[in-house]
Amino acid sequence: MKIKSSNYEYSVFLLHAEEGGYIVNVPALPGCMTQGETVEEAIAMAKEAIDLYLETLVERGKEIPVEDEHLITRIKGKIPRVGKATVTYAMDNLIVNCKLNILNHMIIFF
């Protein structure tokens, strides 16, 4: 295996963890994940995880993935006007019925 460079750059995604802190995922490196209590710690842990991942690939004679450049942006979705609606959802084993008057309101589900 020929190594093209000694420096590689990868996109990382930081997600808020329910229990606190951040979970970090490196999509170009399958299974490369870590976490940290703060953004700074999560990024530092991601750098270490990427280095260890690449080191393991080299030791095993595997190709090192090169991430293509891409653009990531956010796009808002919109629910069309539907007048009055009833929405049912489960939350902590409790079923709640809500009546909504949806007129150009943005609803985001997490």
Report residues of the chain scoring pLDDT below 50: 88-110
pLDDT of residue 102: 40
Full-model pTM: 0.62
User: 42 vs 6, 20, 27, 34, 45, CA distance in Å?
Assistant: 23, 12, 15, 7, 5
| Closest by Cα among 69, 64, 22, 17 to 46 | 22
pLDDT of residue 47: 96
pLDDT of residue 22: 96
Phi and psi dihedrals of 81, rounded to 5? -60, 130
Contact 65, 30 (CB under 8 A): no
pLDDT of residue 98: 40
